[in-house]
């Protein structure tokens, strides 16, 4: 099954516009006559041009606000749900089908088979932005993943505190990390098969504890003594974090908030559990007599006690290999650690990686919001690669098995270095081909990257522009565009991305224009005036030799500098420097 053409009657800034998604077919719909004109194109277009299981790939490019994201939304919301008033043409087997009864110069069957029934529609973007994507779509965008986290409410059904938001976000991070571990541990060679050594696959997961107070370590004279065991230090970090949480929610009285009291409350002979009990007995806030408040207070203490007991049993050298001190933490010989590292390659003796962090989170119970998980040393771009790959992988594993997937990726290369943007398309195709060789993919990408455009024939690109008067989306025909495949990047910027004002940064352009106005005696106001020194400074900074040399020529003419004048001026400056040196 392959989407070939859509005609949108009215959706946001798209009004009565048709969009061709196939390099082998060209359609044009006439609304007045309800007729469709069809042409076969590119008969020699290779069947497996993008890979054995990639039926087609289309990029949507254009200015900001031209309608790229709106087009993606329309495909899903209008056509997947089968709404009337719009036209969709698709190919099933060797037969063309349409959702409307229309006349066409090529045989075309009317079908009520909408995309959701024939394909797995999948939408991905790593950008935190709102999109009106239908609920029946498999939406794996970042915003949707945040929305999928269950909302934790109070007894009145309200969600109201920043602590709760941190809880949601930590839940989101936990799910992301576990999905990513599942992805790259089960498919270790797929990502690296194209990016190779450029991509850092993390093997160290940093687990951080929420900390409220500034770091405090007892002095040598204090009674607290610890062995150098990292397990003791990590457990002590949990001990402090849990007690701080009780102070924060007013379970303990104000005097307990002296951070030194928390740190020094641990008694090595008693152990963490009994030290905790003694601290609670000393500082429990019993000022209120309200039954509900007493119930909540006792529940908080009980939850904290249970969490501490379970953590103490879990973090043992007998069942876990962890390390958690960076070099500076070791130098300062802290008595506790508010973060520690688990290494994926040889995490532990008893647990797998996902099993361990799930167990750790489970041990904390209602206090799991005190934990956060993040990769150690992973860049934004590297995280985006893992995020995209793991989400596609997880989504298609859990979806009912279909032999076709309509995958849309909205600006998936954002955050990538230019070299990775250059490799972006092969990376996506490599992931799909190797992860799911039995699924046929039709891929639709939106992008601002000229590297993606240079990887595609112009027939595989939908060029969008925006009408200045109305703001409506306008489709540029491929024959009006230059060839893109293997094209020069500068040419693509000028022709495919509608850079009407050249390829120079606007700030530099403004400075150069100001210099030109001064040298041409075309100063509009006093703010435009520049000294000869300032003009000379700007000219010397210009990297484009043609512009620089022309402005130098204008500068010399404006200030009546001949070559001899320049020599005299430079000799005078040299004499002044020598005099200054003496």
Asked if pLDDT for residue 80 goes beyond 70, the answer is no
Which of 323, 326, 424 is closest to 377 using CA atoms?
326
Give start and end residues of each alpha helix (H) in 368-461.
380-398, 418-422, 424-435, 450-454
Q: Which fold has domain 2-138+403-496?
A: Rossmann fold (3.40.50)
The string of pLDDT tens digits covering residues 53-65 is 999 999 999 888 8
φ/ψ of 566, rounded to 5, equals -65, -40
Q: In which element (H, E) is residue 404 found?
A: strand 404-410
Residue 325 confidence (pLDDT) = 42
Burial 397-417 (b: 16+ CB within 10 A, else e): eeeeeeebbbbbbbbbbbbbe
Residue 405 confidence (pLDDT) = 93
The string of pLDDT tens digits covering residues 356-380 is 889 899 999 989 889 988 888 788 8
Residue 215 confidence (pLDDT) = 57
Asked if pLDDT for residue 174 goes beyond 70, the answer is yes
- The pLDDT-based confidence of 504 (bands split at 50, 70, 90) is confident
* Percent share of the chain, pLDDT over 70: 81
The rounded distance, in Å, linking the Cα atoms of 56 and 375 is 35
Residue 60 confidence (pLDDT) = 95
Query: Per this entry, what is the length of the chain?
Result: 582
Residue 496 confidence (pLDDT) = 62
* Beta sheet of 103-104, edge-to-edge order: 25-30, 35-40, 103-104
CB 15 within 8 A of CB 470: no
Q: Which residue has the tokens 């610890």?
A: 226
Positive or negative, the Cα torsion across 489, 490, 494, 495? negative
pTM, to two decimals: 0.82
Q: Which two tokens stand for residue 463?
A: 């060029």
Residue 441 confidence (pLDDT) = 95
Instruction: Give the residue with greater pLDDT, 392 vs 248.
Output: 392
Instruction: Give the residue with greater pLDDT, 64 vs 489.
Output: 64
Instruction: Give the residue with greater pLDDT, 448 vs 493.
Output: 448
Q: Which two tokens stand for residue 541?
A: 């900074």
The string of pLDDT tens digits covering residues 377-402 is 788 888 888 899 999 999 998 876 78
CB 33 within 8 A of CB 489: no
Domain boundaries, the chain: 2-138+403-496, 206-375, 506-581
First to last CA, the chain: 85
The rounded distance, in Å, linking the Cα atoms of 233 and 247 is 21
Residue 477 DSSP code: P
Residue 336 confidence (pLDDT) = 63
Q: Which two tokens stand for residue 518?
A: 């001064």
Give start and end residues of each alpha helix (H) in 473-562.
489-496, 506-519, 532-541, 545-558
The string of pLDDT tens digits covering residues 270-294 is 888 899 999 888 888 788 778 888 8
Q: How far is CA 152 from CA 248, 275, 369, in A?
A: 18, 31, 11
The rounded distance, in Å, linking the Cα atoms of 142 and 172 is 10
The rounded distance, in Å, linking the Cα atoms of 170 and 209 is 11
According to DSSP, the β-strands at 120-124 and 404-410 are parallel
Q: Which two tokens stand for residue 62?
A: 């254009």
DSSP result, 309-336: HHHHHHS-TTT---B---HHHHHTT-SS
Residue 224 confidence (pLDDT) = 45
Q: Who contacts 467 (Cβ-Cβ below 8 Å, separation ≥6)?
A: 473, 474
Burial 549-571 (b: 16+ CB within 10 A, else e): eebeebbeeeeeeeeeeeeeeee
Which of 473, 413, 472, 404 is closest to 439 using CA atoms?
404
Residue 115 confidence (pLDDT) = 61
In 3-state terms, what secondary structure has residue 480?
helix
The string of pLDDT tens digits covering residues 175-195 is 999 999 888 887 777 666 655
Instruction: Give the residue with greater pLDDT, 141 vs 495.
Output: 141
Q: How far is CA 247 from CA 242, 258, 272, 304, 336, in A?
A: 9, 10, 17, 12, 19
Q: Is 295 exposed, middle or buried (0-12, 13-18, 19+ CB in 10 A)?
A: exposed
Q: Which residue has the tokens 């990513």?
A: 180
Burial 138-150 (b: 16+ CB within 10 A, else e): bbbbbebbeeebe
């Amino acid at each position: 099954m392959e989407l070939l053409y859509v005609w949108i009657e009215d959706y946001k800034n798209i009004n009565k516009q048709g969009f061709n998604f196939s390099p082998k077919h060209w359609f044009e719909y006439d609304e007045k006559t309800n007729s469709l004109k069809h042409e076969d194109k590119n008969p020699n277009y290779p069947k497996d041009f993008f890979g054995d299981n990639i039926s087609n790939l289309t990029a949507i490019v254009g200015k900001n606000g031209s309608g790229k994201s709106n087009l993606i939304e329309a495909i899903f919301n209008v056509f997947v749900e089968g709404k009337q008033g719009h036209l969709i043409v698709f190919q099933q087997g060797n037969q063309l089908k349409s959702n409307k009864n229309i006349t066409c110069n090529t045989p075309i069957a009317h079908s009520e088979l909408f995309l959701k029934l024939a394909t797995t529609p999948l939408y991905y973007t790593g950008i935190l932005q709102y999109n009106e994507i239908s609920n029946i779509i498999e939406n794996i965008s970042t915003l949707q993943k945040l929305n999928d986290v269950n909302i934790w409410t109070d007894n009145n059904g309200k969600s109201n505190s920043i602590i709760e938001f941190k809880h949601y976000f930590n839940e989101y991070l936990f799910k992301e990390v576990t999905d990513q571990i599942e992805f790259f541990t089960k498919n270790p060679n797929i990502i690296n098969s194209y990016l190779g050594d450029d991509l850092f696959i993390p093997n160290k997961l940093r687990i951080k504890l929420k900390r409220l107070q500034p770091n405090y370590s007892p002095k040598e004279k204090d009674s607290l003594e610890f062995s150098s065991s990292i397990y003791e230090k990590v457990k002590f970090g949990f001990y402090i974090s849990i007690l701080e949480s009780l102070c924060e929610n007013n379970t303990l009285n104000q005097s307990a908030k002296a951070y030194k009291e928390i740190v020094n409350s641990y008694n090595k002979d008693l152990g963490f559990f009994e030290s905790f009990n003694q601290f609670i007995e000393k500082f429990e806030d019993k000022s209120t007599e309200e039954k509900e408040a007493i119930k909540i207070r006792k529940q908080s203490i009980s939850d904290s006690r249970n969490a501490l007991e379970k953590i103490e049993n879990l973090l043992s050298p007998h069942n876990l290999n962890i390390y958690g001190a960076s070099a500076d933490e070791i130098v300062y010989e802290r008595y506790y650690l508010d973060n520690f590292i688990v290494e994926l390659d040889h995490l532990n003796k008893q647990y797998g990686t996902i099993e361990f962090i799930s167990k750790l989170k489970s041990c904390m119970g209602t206090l799991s919001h005190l934990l956060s998980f993040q990769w150690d040393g992973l860049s934004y771009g590297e995280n985006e690669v893992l995020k995209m790959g793991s989400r596609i992988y997880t989504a298609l594993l859990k979806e009912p098995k279909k032999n076709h997937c309509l995958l849309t990726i909205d600006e998936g290369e954002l955050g990538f270095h230019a070299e990775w943007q250059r490799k972006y398309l092969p990376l996506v195709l490599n992931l799909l081909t190797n992860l799911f060789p039995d699924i046929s993919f039709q891929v639709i990408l939106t992008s601002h990257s000229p590297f993606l455009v240079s990887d595609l024939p112009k027939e595989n690109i939908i060029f969008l522009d925006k009408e200045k008067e109305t703001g409506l989306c306008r489709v540029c025909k491929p024959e009006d565009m230059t060839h893109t495949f293997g094209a020069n990047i500068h040419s693509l910027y000028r022709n495919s991305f509608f850079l009407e004002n050249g390829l120079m940064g606007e700030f530099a352009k403004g400075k150069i224009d100001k210099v030109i106005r001064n040298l041409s005696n075309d100063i509009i106001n006093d703010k435009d005036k520049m000294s000869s020194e300032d003009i000379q400074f700007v000219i010397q900074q210009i990297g484009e030799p043609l512009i620089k040399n022309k402005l130098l020529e204008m500068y010399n003419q404006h200030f009546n500098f001949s070559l001899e004048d320049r020599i005299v001026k430079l000799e005078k400056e040299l004499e002044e420097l020598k005099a200054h040196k003496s």
